[in-house]
């Protein structure tokens, strides 16, 4: 009978899980903060093109002002992942889900929506790892 779990994986599972956790946590700290900061500078792209007209019509102010608010939310989300990854990862996942709905509702930028779906799944993976991770108390 075949063993479903190879012996070689059981010895390094904790190390692999910890590496995956640290990689995902790092990405979901850095990326939201950088993308959030770029909402103020538009170095990567004119972010207003990604705002669905129906959402823009619901919000007060201009599309650019909406992007400033989006930038603040993204920066805060990255900081929350750094401080409280259990909750921050869920915040990022919820935010990404909202972005996906926005993009799909436009019927445009579906490639970006698909990329964001991958990030959404990654944020959920970080949440699963963070919630499953034993609390570590540091000696001060």
Q: What is the mean pLDDT of residues 1-10?
A: 48
List the one residue out of 120, 118, 106 whose CA is nearest residue 63.
Answer: 106
- pTM to 2 decimal places: 0.84
Q: How confident is the model at residue 108 (pLDDT cuts 50, 70, 90)?
A: very high
pLDDT at 61 over 70: yes
**DSSP element (H, E) containing 66:** helix 63-83
Locate the domains of the chain by residue range: 17-132
Whether 28 contacts 74, CB under 8 Å = no
d(CA 58, CA 70): 14
Per-residue pLDDT for 9 more than 80?
A: no
C-alpha closest to that of 39 among 84, 8, 4, 69: 69
Q: What is the pLDDT of residue 133?
A: 85
Q: At which residue do the structure tokens 């170095």 appear?
A: 43
**pLDDT above 70: residue 135:** no
- The answer, yes or no, to whether residue 30 has pLDDT greater than 50, is yes
């Amino acid at each position: 009978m075949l063993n479903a779990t190879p012996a070689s994986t059981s010895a390094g599972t904790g190390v692999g899980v910890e590496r995956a956790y640290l990689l995902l946590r790092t990405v979901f700290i850095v990326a939201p903060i950088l993308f959030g900061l770029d909402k103020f500078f538009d170095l990567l792209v004119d972010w207003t093109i990604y705002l669905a007209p129906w959402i823009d019509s619901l919000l007060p102010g201009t599309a650019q002002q909406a992007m400033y608010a989006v930038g603040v939310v993204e920066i805060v989300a990255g900081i929350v992942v750094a401080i409280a990854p259990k909750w921050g990862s869920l915040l990022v996942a919820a935010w990404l889900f909202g972005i996906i709905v926005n993009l799909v509702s436009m019927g445009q930028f579906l490639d970006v929506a698909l990329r964001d779906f991958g990030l959404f799944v990654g944020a959920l993976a970080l949440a699963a790892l963070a919630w499953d991770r034993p609390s570590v108390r540091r000696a001060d």
